[in-house]
Amino acid sequence: MEDLKCPFRQALLPGDFGCSHAQPVTRREGPDIACGSAEAHDRCGELLARLREVGLPALGYTDDLNELPHAVAVKVQMGGLLGLRRLLDPPSAASTVVEDVGATVAQAVARYGSTVAVPYAELVPDMASYRLKRRRGR
């Protein structure tokens, strides 16, 4: 099987979010997440690209590896996923986790017809309001 890096690994690595396709792997850089489904990998990659396309400018950033703070990239990923789950399941809006990212993205594609048709502008407030967990003292 091809080793596909999960597009949402930053959301999955801390253990706050989950995915039925996630496969923990160890790389030279340390722990990582691989995707066990090429189809899910493609869907998630498309969704993340659109989240970044809409979310970064709304938060006042450009997609520049040298200038984009890691915290902003995480806000776009995690806030975008939480907003997507809120659109798909309004009663879950108070939750701060997505238990199955792959299933949530598949559900969005089923509802909206494609990753392109998701109403991304409605997710921007979720991205902007997402708060990263504070690190514990060392």
Mean pLDDT of all residues belonging to the chain:
91
What pLDDT shows up at residue 135?
Answer: 61
Q: Give the count of domains, the chain.
A: 1
> Could you tell me if residue 55 is inside a domain?
yes
> Could you tell me if residue 125 is inside a domain?
yes
Q: Give the pLDDT confidence of 65-106 residue by residue, as tens digits.
A: 788 898 899 999 999 999 999 999 988 777 888 999 999 999
> Could you tell me if residue 47 is inside a domain?
yes
DSSP for residue 91: G
> Could you tell me if residue 45 is inside a domain?
yes
> Could you tell me if residue 1 is inside a domain?
no
> Could you tell me if residue 23 is inside a domain?
no
DSSP for residue 100: -
d(CA 115, CA 111): 10
> Are 80 and 55 spatial neighbours (Cβ–Cβ below 8 Å)?
yes
Q: Give the pLDDT confidence of 26-42 residue by residue, as tens digits.
A: 888 889 999 999 999 99
Q: Domain of 108?
A: 37-129
What are the CA-CA distances from residue 1 to residues 18, 34, 35, 95, 102 (Å)? 21, 11, 10, 34, 18
What pLDDT shows up at residue 27?
Answer: 86
What pLDDT shows up at residue 138?
Answer: 54
